[in-house]
Structure 1
Amino acid sequence: MNFRAIAAALAATVAIPFAAANATDLEVTHWWTSGGEAAAVAELAKAFDATGNKWVDGAIAGSGGTARPIMVSRITGGDPMGATQFNHGRQAEELVEAGLMRDLTDVATKGNWKEVIRPASLLESCTIDGKIYCAPVNIHSWQWLWLSNGAFEKAGVAVPKNWDEFVAAAPALEKAGIVPLAVGGQPWQTSGAFDVLMLSLAGKDVFLKVFGDKDAEVAAGPEIAKVFKAADDARRMAKGTNVQDWNQATNMVITGKAGGQIMGDWAQGEFQVAGQVAGKDYSCLPGLGVNEVIATGGDAFYFPVLEDGEKSKAQDALAETLVDPKTQVAFNLKKGSLPVRGDVDLDAANDCMKKGLDILAKGNVVQWTDQLLSPDSQKQKEDLFSEFFANASMTPEDAQKRFADIIAAAD
């Protein structure tokens, strides 16, 4: 899509004031609709409303893959919201280059964002040509295996400490009528699970050669062949999942219908809403218990250009509020993610969040695929792994060849 051409065509209409709204009402679009996510969003809304403005919730049901095209269409179509969620990385790059997003550099300078936001790569993902265009709100890491302690007790096997033990326990789980691995049917879930397997089993250097350097030779090589073997194991273990949404798969772990799930730390919000306790009712293995490295991806809010002066002021207030220390603590404790500020105290963090904080403090971090690949390359990867997990006749070798071709053409 040529955003620059659209921007020129819509120059007069890109920022239509909301006639029916008060000057300080601000519509905020996002895709956080599960129980844990809704609880976290409520903290953002409460903090923003306390500034004298009003958060008008624009939740879009479904995943980011469902919501982002709607958000982009509204912005390019002359019906922009006040603020919108995207993941850290390149998802809003063309919108920024087309002049459709606000420059937040003054707000960031006032708030000393460069000094307090850690790691620095979070703000770098918001920066284009030296200007800052988004407010990071959390660090979400994909690299976790969530385990139902009750499921393993029912199956008569110990709770696994790593991926290999988890695979070895699968037959006992199946014998007890439990799905070993819950994987929802949406493409981003299967693609994300593969990415976690690659980082955890092949290691950080290989991961960055493939997704950072776009090294197709490595992608076609023996290290990645081992990852595809693990993906084949995951595909077989997930065969009986039969749900679509990620939180439905998480609920299978919460209720003991599944042994585990590869999913980001946002799953913690669901365990929390269900009243489950980390270390007692469920366990968490960062890096699948093999390689304790987490990605510093996550979520940020971008602010479309608006002509209404009062709404622009409200945008500034929201950007400041999102990064405020108190908001960071309240939101991330509910969301299950880590704060973007390095100067906040999270005494109330549970065992799993403390593991993530410890890994972050040690600097065992990596940029995630949202930051390393263009949206188009990401979509090709998602399509591949959606097909791989759904079609047992696709061999790991055939899938790896297609994967290497995607990496060879990736941008």
Structure 2
Amino acid sequence: MMGKKLFAATIGAGFMSASVQAADVEVIHWWTSGGEQKAVTVLAEEYNKLGNDKWVDTAVALGENARSLTMQRILGGDAPGAAQFNTSRQFEELIEEGLLLDLTPVAEKEGWKNFIRPSSILNPCMKDGGIYCVPVNIHSNQWLWTNKKVFADVGVKEPHTWEEFLTVAPKIQAAGYIPLAFGGQGWQERHVFDVVMIGMTDEKFWNSVWKDKDPKAASSDKMRKVFETFGALRQFTDAGAPGRNWNDATNMVITGKAAAQVMGDWARGEFAAAGKVAEVDYGCIPGPAKRPSLTLGGDAFIFPKSSDKNLEAAQMKLASMMLSPTIQAKFNNTKGSLPVRADVDLDVADACMKKGLALLDDPKATITPANNYITEDTNGQVQDLVSTFWNEPSMSVDTALSIFKGIIEDAE
């Protein structure tokens, strides 16, 4: 977490890199997989068609690395024109310190509050009457991606709950397949943990932990079952999991080396890029849970302040373009995510995207992500605990519960 003195020292330091021309917008993002690269190319090419301003691409592998670079660049007086974050509290200190461009003029002119849905997507962008980011998509995390042929070969049905997965996984393993394609990186371990938590509980319990920060819920029998189920998944991954990128794990499912993967809806872009057909070659199971629920987060772009009025105009133009109906349809169909506006042409939506849209229309099936309620510091503590528990099977559930309770008690 960054201190105010460090932020204050950078105010007025100048935010534009000397190596980038004033009319160009350098964009830092972490979209580096095959499907993601196709999606970000849509944004870059469409922006370049608008006029003399150009999209200058800076792709950085892994979200935490990209966000860290952005913070360093802003603090060093060498900010990019735009940068990707998640729709969360990740950039709230930048807003508080007055380092981000207020997009309210273009937002009011175009009526963002009228068409961006749900409200939880735009809320993290708003503070003290201003709007400081552009949400470009709606991502949902709770999906189990499956290889149809593997399940057919083994002769078992695709699981729709975690109990069902733990029942069929040994049979899949005995048949010579990896039951669960897994990427051993901190954010992926936390990702699966959250998916298990929602799948094993419900929205009320989720909110009691993350929104209400209730230590009793954090140390309850329900939470114990979450840790037990999460730990039980270890035996169904492979030895090559540590350090594996998420898209490499997705490729294991695409190529039939693994039966399934827990990953967000962005995995759909990898299947599409590989020429696979939804619900024919691969399956997409929301949840897994008896009653599927999806956390609705997504990606957003912030625009650091600049004294260069030409750059500011280019930033406003890019912000507007990202939310146009045409771009929303093109980008999200490629990315695997859902558009933040409902008035776009989704005739090309595949079977998996339609499942997501149906859940999006059900107010009882959508949940606010944990990182909308907790600070980045608290989020990091939870991720560290989850990673330690996953990678050190000797850690007992009792110990994990005790640490988790303490984190939630002190959460901000």
Q: Shorter-normalised TM-score: what interval?
A: over 0.9
Aligned partner of 1:274 in structure 2 is 274
Stretches of structure 2 that go unaligned for 5 or more consecutive residues are none
Aligned partner of 2:166 in structure 1 is 167
Identity among equivalent pairs (%):
46
Aligned partner of 2:247 in structure 1 is 247
**Structure 2 vs 1, CA of residues 215 and 14 (structure 1 numbering), >3 Å: closer, same or farther?**
farther
Secondary structure of the structure 2 residue equivalent to 1:301? strand
Aligned partner of 1:202 in structure 2 is 201
Shift of 1:156: 2.7
Aligned partner of 2:326 in structure 1 is 326
Indicate the RMSD between aligned Cα atoms, in angstroms.
Answer: 1.4
Whether the 8 Å CA contact 1:87–1:370 is kept in 2: the answer is: no
One-letter amino acid of the structure 2 residue matched with residue 91 of structure 1: Q
Q: Does 1:385 align with 2:386?
A: yes
Whether the 8 Å CA contact 2:200–2:289 is kept in 1: the answer is: no
Aligned partner of 2:102 in structure 1 is 103
One-letter amino acid of the structure 2 residue matched with residue 238 of structure 1: T
**Structure 2 vs 1, CA of residues 241 and 168 (structure 1 numbering), >3 Å: closer, same or farther?**
farther
Whether the 8 Å CA contact 2:20–2:26 is kept in 1: the answer is: no
Secondary structure of the structure 2 residue equivalent to 1:125? helix
Q: Give the whole-Å Cα distance in 2 for the aligned partners of 1:355 and 1:42.
A: 26
One-letter amino acid of the structure 2 residue matched with residue 46 of structure 1: E
Q: Deviations over 1:178-228 (max 9, x none)?
A: 111122111011111111111121100000100111111101001111111
Q: Give the whole-Å Cα distance in 2 for the aligned partners of 1:196 and 1:5.
A: 38
**Structure 2 vs 1, CA of residues 241 and 395 (structure 1 numbering), >3 Å: closer, same or farther?**
farther
Within 5 Å, give how 1:228-239 maps onto structure 2.
228-239=227-238
One-letter amino acid of the structure 1 residue matched with residue 213 of structure 2: K
Whether the 8 Å CA contact 2:11–2:99 is kept in 1: the answer is: no
**Structure 2 vs 1, CA of residues 174 and 264 (structure 1 numbering), >3 Å: closer, same or farther?**
same
One-letter amino acid of the structure 1 residue matched with residue 81 of structure 2: G
One-letter amino acid of the structure 2 residue matched with residue 75 of structure 1: I
Q: TM-score, normalised by structure 2?
A: 0.96
One-letter amino acid of the structure 2 residue matched with residue 276 of structure 1: K
Q: Deviations over 1:99-147 (max 9, x none)?
A: 1111111111011100000001111110011211000000001111111
Within 5 Å, give how 1:66-215 maps onto structure 2.
66-215=65-214
Q: Give the whole-Å Cα distance in 1 for the aligned partners of 2:107 and 2:154.
A: 52
Q: Give the whole-Å Cα distance in 2 for the aligned partners of 1:202 and 1:340.
A: 27
Whether the 8 Å CA contact 1:14–1:75 is kept in 2: the answer is: no
**Structure 2 vs 1, CA of residues 111 and 3 (structure 1 numbering), >3 Å: closer, same or farther?**
farther
Q: Give the whole-Å Cα distance in 2 for the aligned partners of 1:2 and 1:168.
A: 46
Stretches of structure 1 that go unaligned for 5 or more consecutive residues are none
Shift of 1:167: 1.4
Aligned partner of 1:260 in structure 2 is 260
Q: Give the whole-Å Cα distance in 2 for the aligned partners of 1:260 and 1:123.
A: 32
One-letter amino acid of the structure 2 residue matched with residue 373 of structure 1: I
Q: Give the whole-Å Cα distance in 1 for the aligned partners of 2:58 and 2:13.
A: 21
Shift of 1:160: 2.5
Shift of 1:152: 1.5
Secondary structure of the structure 2 residue equivalent to 1:174? helix
Give the number of equivalent residue pairs. Answer: 409
Whether the 8 Å CA contact 1:4–1:97 is kept in 2: the answer is: no
Greater shift in the superposed pair: 115-124 or 63-72 = 63-72
Shift of 1:320: 0.1
Whether the 8 Å CA contact 2:136–2:339 is kept in 1: the answer is: yes
Where do 4+ consecutive residues of structure 1 move more than 6 Å?
none
Shift of 1:66: 2.1
Q: Does 1:218 align with 2:217?
A: yes
Aligned partner of 1:399 in structure 2 is 400
